[in-house]
Amino acid sequence: MFSEVTARLLTDRLLHNLRTLRALIGPQTRLCAALKANAYGHGMSLVAPILQKGGADMAAVAQLDEAIELRRIGWTRPILVFGHVLGGLESAKRRERIDTALGHQLILTVTEDGDLLRDIDAAARSAGRPLSVHLKIDTGMGRMGFTPDEGLDALREAATMRGLRICGVYSHLATADEANDEHVRRQLSRFDAFLASAAPLLPEGALRHVANTAAALRFPEARLDLVRIGLGLYGYHPSEVTRPLADLRPALRVTSRVTEMKWLPTGHCIGYGCTVWTQRRTRIGIVPVGYGDGYWRALSNHAIVGMSQGDAPVVGRISMDQMAIDLTDLPDAAAGDSVVLLDETRSRPNSVESTAKLLSAIPYEVTCSLGSRIARSADAAVSARVEPQIALAAGVI
């Protein structure tokens, strides 16, 4: 692959974060690794084998295609699909997806009853084995999910169906990363009340879960049977509120190189729109990266990149495939030199978190934006397929 940009996964940091979070949640709570959106841009095919070998109990993705890819690269443990992938489909397409979930031993999220439950039941009975599902309960997020009363009705209906295996119930917190915890407390109280009413209806061993990274860090009472960890695994805190609670280490470094250097005279514009004009004789370097790779155009004239000789500002508009950096004050810089676009050191001006602040964004957006043209690699030799420590027990989780 002749990529101009490389995203390097720092394996030791990923494992450090996994172990740190595992120690925090304790041995009685299972850890579900969120691997959606190409492992938050870090590369699912690199991240998943490391986490499986490191002992993550389960994985979660948003879409069926992600789950299928996760099985293809060797993930043998349970996979929960967060998205409502059966919603809004005609019967034949819904049946196709149910068959796919059965064939890959996936766990689907169910957020509505009636025809959907009956369709799952019929398809699974026809296939000769039940489909494992988790019911999602809306306790105050206002997105997907049954109301608590609807959830109880769904559990009662599911109890009459041989084609369904209810192996979990969960909810999602809207403000776990915010300093004001009033809404979190309301949601946890609603979920606790639902669980109390649901207890006689839940099969033995059904998992109860509500905590994302922020909640797992901040609210021990929210850890329950399982926590769903996404951003924290990759070394980023959901907000400043959680930063003192765990030593998480960013696990990504993104680099490119200088492909061309040139001198521009005073009064010369740089890039589309002439948003900047040279105020002196200026030496620029061209870096073959742009918004087509997920390096946002909004970073134009704001971002800093790192080089062995020092830092260099991005000058002019970032285009789809190229950008310019000012190397006038780095006389030893040369074509071919490495350029660090995203640094793993949190305090650096080009770290993921610093870049997110420049964009008035969040770390999720920065890493998930990294495009398919970027070559992804790990800093240690990790096989794309690893032997599982725990065999997949279909329907247990």
Domain ranges for the chain, please list them. Answer: 10-234, 252-343
In this structure, whether the domain defined by 252-343 belongs to CATH 2.40.37.10 is answered with yes
Q: What is the average pLDDT value for the chain, to the nearest integer?
A: 94
pLDDT for the residue numbered 394: 33
Joined tokens for residue 123: 């398809």
Contact 352, 367 (CB under 8 A): yes
The reported pLDDT for the residue numbered 229 is: 98
Active site residue 291: no
Mean pLDDT across 39-55: 97
CA distances, 315 to each of 288, 329, 357 (Å): 14, 14, 18
The residues near 303 (Cβ < 8 Å, ≥ 6 apart) are 313, 314, 350, 355, 358
CB atoms within 10 A of CB 350: 22
Average pLDDT over residues 45-61: 97
Please identify which of the residues 36, 40, 170, 364 carries the catalytic annotation: 36
Per-residue confidence at 125, pLDDT binned at 50, 70, 90? very high
Residue-level pLDDT at 251: 98
Q: Which amino acid is at 42?
A: H
Mean pLDDT of 301-311: 98
Evaluate if residue 382 carries a pLDDT over 80: no
pLDDT of residue 386: 36
Which amino acid is it at 319? Answer: S
Catalytic residue among 53, 136, 272, 364: 272
Q: Give pLDDT tens digits for 309-347.
A: 999 999 999 999 999 999 999 999 999 999 999 999 999
Q: Is 15 helix (H, G, I), strand (E, B) or coil?
A: helix
Beta-ladder partners of 375: 6
What pLDDT sits at residue 385? Answer: 34
Taking Cα atoms as reference points, which of 28, 9, 49, 51 lies closest to residue 230? 51
- pTM over cut 0.75: yes
- Which pLDDT score is estimated for 91? 87
| Residue 93 annotated to the active site | no
Q: What are the start-end ranges of the H helices in 334-397?
A: 352-358, 363-368
Q: Count the alpha carbons within 13 Å of 216 in the hemisphere toward its beta carbon.
A: 29
Coil vs helix vs strand at 389: coil
For residue 88, give the DSSP letter: T
Q: How far is CA 392 from the centre of its chain?
A: 23
> What SS3 class is residue 82?
coil
For domain 10-234, give its CATH number from 3.20.20.10, 3.40.640.10, 3.40.50.2300, 3.90.228.20: 3.20.20.10
pLDDT tens across 234-246, in order? 999 999 999 999 9
Q: Give the helix ranges, DSSP H, for the chain.
A: 11-25, 36-40, 44-54, 64-72, 91-103, 115-127, 148-158, 182-198, 213-218, 352-358, 363-368
Query: How confident is the model at residue 112, as a pLDDT?
Result: 83
pLDDT of residue 42: 98
- Alpha-carbon gap, residue 135 to 172, rounded angstroms: 12
Using alpha carbons, list the distances in angstroms from residue 1 to 24, 111, 364, 373, 374.
Answer: 40, 42, 26, 10, 10
Where does the pLDDT of residue 380 fall: very low under 50, low under 70, confident under 90, or very high at 90 and above?
low
**In angstroms, rounded to a whole number, what is the distance separating the alpha carbons of residues 283 and 303?**
17
Chain segment 84-96, per-residue pLDDT in tens: 999 999 889 999 9
* pLDDT above 90 for 186: yes
Say yes or no to pLDDT of 257 above 60.
yes
- The predicted model gives 144-156 an average pLDDT of 96
For position 379, what pLDDT does the model report?
Answer: 87
Q: Is the pLDDT of residue 397 over 50?
A: no
Q: Which of helix, strand or coil describes residue 101?
A: helix
| R_g of the chain computed on alpha carbons | 24
Are 199 and 169 a contacting pair, CB within 8 Å?
no
Angle between helices 44-54 and 64-72 (to 10 degrees): 70
